[in-house]
Amino acid sequence: MGELIAVTGATGRIGRRVVGRLAEAGAEVRALGRDPARLAALPVTDTRTASYDDGAGMRAALDGAATLFLVSAHEAPGRVRTHATAVDAAVAAGVRRIVYLSYLNAAPHATFTFARDHWHTEQHIRSTGLPFTFLRDSTYQADLVAMASSEGVLRGPAADGRVGAVTHDDVADSAAAVLLGEGHDDVTYDMTGPEALSFDEVAAALSAASGRTVTYHPETREEAYASRAVYDAPEWEVEGWVTSYEAVAVGEMDDVSDDVRTLTGHPPQSFAEFLAAHPESYRRLLSR
């Protein structure tokens, strides 16, 4: 039996995929999450219920783990503090390596406000002195689909910028390769697709896949805030939504990396390939 790998966010879109890949490889896996019923549906028997902001609970849940795969928490004003609590619990539990799911071009002054949280979390992980690996995700291709309204409009202040979006499966494959492999200590990998698309090109790909005309409507910042006011979301959340497009506009999301291929041995999936393989992702665009 190998060393224990603990996976947080184990019932989420990345976490459950990683748990499945590690289990298939015969690794010793412990799945952490907040919902016991959803944890019970995973293909592993070692599961623990724990919340990132519960330091004592996280420490107990991580007892005996050699490696921690830390999936970032949901966006919130105190997310950096929440991440720090989980990281400190891992150190106290004796974890010897942390693999963190970060964000592309994370920086203290990143245009995308949520990317700043990832940079501060990376710095906290560095401060522990433990070996680390950062997987910096681009936008997910599935989320590009979700950005299109049921009326078939992509709307946001992305101007004519481009985004090298990636699939959840390619990120999970890369994470599993890092968690099971060697030589990844103190390395940062960029997780992107094989191409950087403008939102006009995203709309064209959605049109070709769905058979329905999908268009991109570039907004000003003021228009973007106004069009999202109907959601009655807190200011920090709306700012995150709007700045995610603005990061595309200023060129902070147009990176295209070969790191997925390097880690997995296969090329990352293109957006057209993703749409062909997942028609359920745009089904709502078909009902008019």
What CA–CA distance (Å, rounded) separates 285 from 288?
Answer: 7
State pLDDT tens for residues 187-236.
999 999 999 999 999 999 999 999 999 999 999 999 999 999 999 999 99
pLDDT above 70 coverage of the chain, percent = 99
275 in a structural domain: no
Structure tokens that stand for 270 in this block: 């293109």
Confidence of residue 131 (pLDDT cuts 50, 70, 90): very high
pTM: 0.97
pLDDT of residue 142: 97
Tokens 């549906």 sit on residue? 41
- Whether 158 maps to a domain, the answer reads no
Residue-level pLDDT at 287: 63
Over pLDDT 90: what percentage of the chain?
A: 97
Residues making up the chain, counted from first to last: 288
Over residues 133-143, mean pLDDT: 98
Instruction: Render pLDDT for 54-78 as a digit per residue (tens, 0 to 9).
Output: 999 999 999 999 999 999 999 999 9
131 falls within a domain: yes
Average pLDDT on 265-272 reads 98
Find the CATH number of the domain harbouring 73. 3.40.50.720
pLDDT (mean) for 131-140: 98
pLDDT of residue 283: 86
Q: pLDDT confidence of 17, banded at 50, 70, 90?
A: very high
**33 located within any domain:** yes
Token pair for 176: 């599993």
Domain count across the chain: 1
Q: What is the pLDDT of residue 284?
A: 81
Q: Is residue 252 part of a domain?
A: no
Whole-angstrom Cα distance, residue 268 to residue 174? 10
- What does the mean pLDDT of the chain come to? 96
81 in a structural domain: yes
> How are beta strands 162-163 and 215-218 bridged, if at all?
unpaired
227, part of any domain: no
What is the residue range of 109's domain? 5-138+167-191
Q: How far apart are CA 163 and CA 247, in angstroms?
A: 9
The residues that bridge with 48 in the sheet, in sequence order, are 32
Whether 23 is in a domain gets the answer yes
Residue range 119-125: average pLDDT?
98
**What contacts 11, CB < 8 A, 6 or more positions away?**
31, 33, 35, 38, 39, 41, 42
Q: Tell me: pLDDT of 240 over 70.
A: yes
pLDDT of 1 over the 80 cut:
no
Task: Categorize the per-residue pLDDT at 288 as very low, low, confident or very high, splitting at 50, 70 and 90.
Answer: low
pLDDT tens figures, 20-49: 999 999 999 999 999 999 999 999 999 999
The pLDDT value given to residue 141: 98
